[in-house]
Copies of this chain bind each other. A is one copy, B any other.
Amino acid sequence: MRLSQQMEYGMDDIDRRLIAELQRDASASYATLAAAVGLSTASAHDRVRKLKERGIIRRTTVEVDPAALGRGVLSYVLIDANAWMGDASTGDALAALPEVEEAHIIAGAGTLLVKVRTATTQDLQGVLRRLYEVPGVASTQSIVVLETFFERPVSPTA
């Protein structure tokens, strides 16, 4: 076992560059992908296959313009609870709301933090009403995003 920077995932620098390329354009051919990292097509294919097998690459997906889907307004909602909300049932109840994109349990003042995308601020109002129907929700505090500088994938570079 050799020394590792944080934990042993068996990732070397070529793997990180492969991930960076795939994050940029997962539709690129294995030939161009291999050329970008200085490997043969077969080797690049091997490495990407292993990254998927190990669960490091979870899936290949598409990034969509939220406004085109009627989700042009981004908000974050802090939730205070009057009961324990750490069980899976809470996650299921939040996942049932299609406008909720992320749901986290947090440390500090509040209890929950959810990321919400709606068409309008009126629709955010509707989501808040449905949030109050989730067991344990005592109060909410909404943060509406006026402008987004950037949203990008996890950086593979240290």
Contacts and interface: CB of A to CB of B under 8 A. Distances in A.
Nearest to A26: B60
A21 to B, nearest CB: 10
B104 A74 contact: yes
A103 B9 contact: no
Contact of A22 (B19, B56, B62, B117): B62
Contacts of A98: 155, 157-158
Contact of A143 (B60, B70, B106, B158): B106
A90 B157 CA distance: 21
A61 B21 CA distance: 9
Of A9, A19, A64, which is in contact with the most chain B CB atoms at under 10 Å from its CB?
Answer: A64
